[in-house]
Amino acid sequence: MPNALLEKLRGFTAMPPELAGKLTALLSKPRDIPARQDLMTEGDAPAAMVVMLEGWACRYNILPEGTRQISAFLMPGDCCDLHVSVLTEMDHSIATLTPAKVAHIQRDELNDLLDAEPALMRAFWWMQLVNESVMRAWIVSMGRRDSLQRVGHLMLELYARATAIGLVRDDRLVMPLTQIVIGDALGLTPVHVNRVLRRLREEGVMEIQGGTLTIADSAKLARVTGFDDSYLHRRLKRAA
Amino acid sequence: MPNALLEKLRGFTAMPPELAGKLTALLSKPRDIPARQDLMTEGDAPAAMVVMLEGWACRYNILPEGTRQISAFLMPGDCCDLHVSVLTEMDHSIATLTPAKVAHIQRDELNDLLDAEPALMRAFWWMQLVNESVMRAWIVSMGRRDSLQRVGHLMLELYARATAIGLVRDDRLVMPLTQIVIGDALGLTPVHVNRVLRRLREEGVMEIQGGTLTIADSAKLARVTGFDDSYLHRRLKRAA
DNA sequence: CTCGCGGCTTGATACAAGTCAAGTTGTTGA
DNA sequence: TCAACAACTTGACTTGTATCAAGCCGCGAG
């Protein structure tokens, strides 16, 4: 598999091999991380940027009552804290959801390269802005969509993002999120997530089976949930 | 009143007068905008960065059913879309909530200055990262806090941010948000916001009276809502 | 001065999602 | 091979928030 970060940046900008090489050179040797392990913990002063190469992770907070809220999902190509070290302290944690491969980039080295390569800098900006757009979309979902729309909208988001990085094969996405995790992301109980998934399955719209997401009727799902992928700001769309 | 953007950046970095002058020079002549008017509209291709100098605004989306979700409040010193023009199209709108004064900065001119002044660049990064932290905190609120905690948490956030830019006088904040607006931000109906505010008032915790917020027992309110201001990443705190 | 309108307030009722509980399935590891 | 455990499933009941409805207050326009 080619480098997931390059793959992702190519979604925004053309990436000449020479530039790709320079970026790749900054990446540390990949490290394997088991599932359910923190990559960064609230209160940490992070030292380097972490790049996801394989596997899934999430940003999350634990509340005083012990409940968890997930605020983002990270897929291959996503970065933990691009602007690391501007802030002194993490205000949330990041944990793997599956076994993962990650690499590090030292901030100073990255900054030097970005200064020298404006196109790359713009690509990183774009990545950051897309992250913000996604967060706003989550706020909209949690505020104004009911449980069925929330679940469907999230699945369409993940499906679109996975498609952009080549993770979708035969219209199926291996998506190892438990119903508990989906609930923690959407502010729902796992029991309720279960009922919603059943309804979506019974209506023939989408299905999660053995850790695999299949969207049978994406047009209907998009209509029902108010999903419009323009907030993901993909420049170079892949063929479906 | 001194320039609100400078005031805000000083919350992160010392700002020598000479640097302050350079930044001020980039600001266009301030423009007066009436209340309830879009500064940017979904679908626009924004041309320049907008800086709030006076007044309040909000980012929002309108859903197909006609409901509105607010995803951020902008106060003096806040910027609309720092990285403008990296993305081609706005995926949300920004509207004033009160009469406001705004100025513009041309992107290229700002970029040149940021390239020349690393300290300023870091200050802008910090601003951006704080915005993201606030969004994550909103996601946490909407997912895992009940209506009373949501309202209280938002008021503490606004109070803290207003304090940082010198908007709080005599422990009172002129905060012209209607109950409808608060509801649109928190995903609640105005009717319910009203009931929550009554409870908070009756319990002597906080009160909104004639567009003015007074927090009588901030320790209790912070405890009840799980508010911890570290996510606002203020470096140089003001005296209370 | 008063009319009209937007925002606030309060009550009665409805419903979406939460809670509690019990049982099933599937996987891991001894 | 079976024990242990985590995730999933389903049902019965509860509750927080929405909805609907009506009246009030205060301010700006004519």
List, for residues B144-170, the tens digit of each pLDDT value. 999 999 999 999 999 999 998 999 999
Q: B169: part of which helix (H) or strand (E)?
A: strand B168-169
Condensed to tens digits (0 to 9), the pLDDT of residues A152-200 reads: 999 999 999 999 999 999 999 999 999 999 999 999 999 999 999 999 9
Distance to chain B for A240, nearest Cα, Å: 23
**pLDDT for residue A15 is more than 50:** yes
**pLDDT for residue A64 is more than 70:** yes
- Give the per-residue pLDDT at B3: 86
**pLDDT for residue A28 is more than 50:** yes
Distance to chain B for A22, nearest Cα, Å: 22
Residue of B91, B110, B121 for testing the chain A interface, max A β-carbons within 10 Å: B91
Given a contact cutoff of 8 angstroms between Cβ atoms, the answer to whether A159 and A173 are in contact is: yes
Is the Cβ of A122 closer than 8 Å to some Cβ of chain B? yes
d(CA A160, CA B121): 33
| Contact state of A144 with B64 under an 8 Å Cβ cutoff | no
**pLDDT for residue A231 is more than 70:** yes
The gap from C-alpha A230 to its chain's centroid, in whole angstroms, comes to 16
Would you kindly state where each structural domain of chain B is located, as residue ranges? 4-127, 146-232
- Measured between its terminal Cα atoms, the distance across chain A in Å is 20
Of A89, A115, A139, the CB nearest to B138: A139
Residues lining strand C, beta carbon within 7 angstroms: A 146-148, 187-189, 191-192, 210; B 178-180, 190-191, 194-195, 197-198
Counting one residue from chain A and one from chain B, the pairs whose CB atoms sit within 8 A come to 110
Of B64, B129, B136, the CB nearest to A71: B136
Query: In Å, how far are A36, A81, A145, B136, B138 from A65, measured between CA atoms?
Result: 21, 27, 25, 18, 17
d(CA B203, CA A82): 43
| Contact state of B136 with A230 under an 8 Å Cβ cutoff | no
Condensed to tens digits (0 to 9), the pLDDT of residues B61-89 reads: 999 999 999 999 999 999 998 776 677 78
| pTM of this structure | 0.95
Enumerate the residues of chain B whose CB falls inside 8 A of the CB of residue A132: 131-132, 135
Of A88, A138, A230, the CB nearest to B139: A138
- Give the per-residue pLDDT at A236: 57
- Give the per-residue pLDDT at B2: 62
Q: Tokens 């950051």, residue?
A: A128
- Give the per-residue pLDDT at A107: 86
| Contact state of B139 with A144 under an 8 Å Cβ cutoff | no
- Give the per-residue pLDDT at A119: 85
**pLDDT for residue B237 is more than 70:** no
What are the E-state strand segments in chain B? 31-33, 38-40, 49-54, 57-62, 68-74, 79-80, 93-96, 100-105, 168-169, 172-174, 206-209, 212-215
Given a contact cutoff of 8 angstroms between Cβ atoms, the answer to whether A7 and A236 are in contact is: no
Of B83, B92, B226, the CB nearest to A125: B83
Fold (CATH) for B146-232:
Arc Repressor Mutant, subunit A (1.10.10)
B157, B159, B113, B111: which is closest to B133 by C-alpha?
A: B157
Is the Cβ of B231 closer than 8 Å to some Cβ of chain A? yes
- Give the per-residue pLDDT at B209: 95
Enumerate the residues of chain A whose CB falls inside 8 A of the CB of residue B72: 136
Q: What is the mean pLDDT of residues B179-186?
A: 98
How many CB atoms lie under 10 A from the CB of residue B16?
Answer: 10
- Give the per-residue pLDDT at B113: 92
φ/ψ bin of A106: left (φ > 0), alpha (ψ from -120 to 50), beta (otherwise): beta
Local structure of A50: helix, strand or coil: strand
DSSP A67: -
Enumerate the residues of chain A whose CB falls inside 8 A of the CB of residue B145: 63
Confidence category of residue B59, pLDDT binned at 50, 70, 90? very high
Local structure of A238: helix, strand or coil: coil
Q: Tokens 């796992």, residue?
A: A190
| A99 exposure class (CB count in 10 Å sphere: 0-12, 13-18, 19+) | middle
**pLDDT for residue A120 is more than 80:** yes
Structure tokens at B164: 């940082």
Query: What CATH superfamily is the domain B4-127?
Result: Jelly Rolls (2.60.120.10)
- Give the per-residue pLDDT at A88: 78
Is the Cβ of A108 closer than 8 Å to some Cβ of chain B? no
Given a contact cutoff of 8 angstroms between Cβ atoms, the answer to whether A204 and A218 are in contact is: no
d(CA B6, CA A66): 39
- Give the per-residue pLDDT at B123: 87
